[in-house]
Amino acid sequence: MRAYIRRACVPAVLVGALLTGCSSGGDDKAAPEKAPASKAAVEKPAGEASEKAPSSAPVPTLSVGQSGTWDYGETDEYGENFKATTQMKTTVVSAKYVTPEEVDTSNEPEHGQYIELTLKLENVGKAPAEILTYGMMKWEDDQTAAQDASTLEGVGEGDALDTTYKPGQSVTGKLVLDVGHKGGVVSYAGTEDPNAEASFKVKLPAA
């Protein structure tokens, strides 16, 4: 009987040990499966901040007699990260609708109407600025998408706006533009800023 009792007790001890081992092992595996709550909270704001694009300065829209300043600058080798190097000032001196005869040409306006726009450009910053208006003057209105308004009419008469402006220098000159009709807006699209549609705009008179 004693031998029988010893053999019967051994399996009971082993079973108890196995049960204890399984119970503690289950508790150890459950803890690592919990995801840290702070990780998502830290990474989300950083992701949102990186998606925000740098904002550009407002484009001045000027009528006759008004002035406005705008940034002149450059980008990096990839055409990104615009940096202003100086500041230009535009004054709209006058805007006069003219006929081909008044600008001494036999060419009819391709888009419909010539306008003689007199501007004063001035470098009010601390670095040189190279201004090229030809091919950079766009006209549009509420119904017509932007169209190139540049012409070669009147070139050679008076001071040229297309030049390099050193700090403190200015030029008052005329541009003869070809627009669709009276009214609308002319934009100077000569800017390196990839986030800006134009450097300045001129609101043309309705008559």
For residue range 186-202, list pLDDT tens digits in order: 999 999 999 899 999 99
**Assigned fold of 61-203:** Immunoglobulin-like (2.60.40)
Q: Is the pLDDT of residue 12 over 80?
A: no
Strand partners, 137: 188
pLDDT band for position 68 (cuts 50, 70, 90): very high
- Contact assessment for residue 149 and residue 177, using Cβ atoms and an 8 Å cutoff: yes
Domain regions of the chain by residue span: 2-50, 61-203
Please state whether the predicted TM-score (pTM) of the whole model is above 0.75: no
Name the phi and psi angles at 206, rounded to 5: -75, -15
CB under 8 Å to 99, separation ≥6 — which residues?
114
Q: What is the pLDDT of residues 88-138, one digit of tens each?
A: 999 999 999 999 999 999 999 999 999 999 999 999 999 999 999 999 999
For residue 147, the model assigns a pLDDT of: 97
Q: Which strands form 83-98's sheet, in the order they lie side by side?
A: 67-74, 83-98, 113-123, 170-179
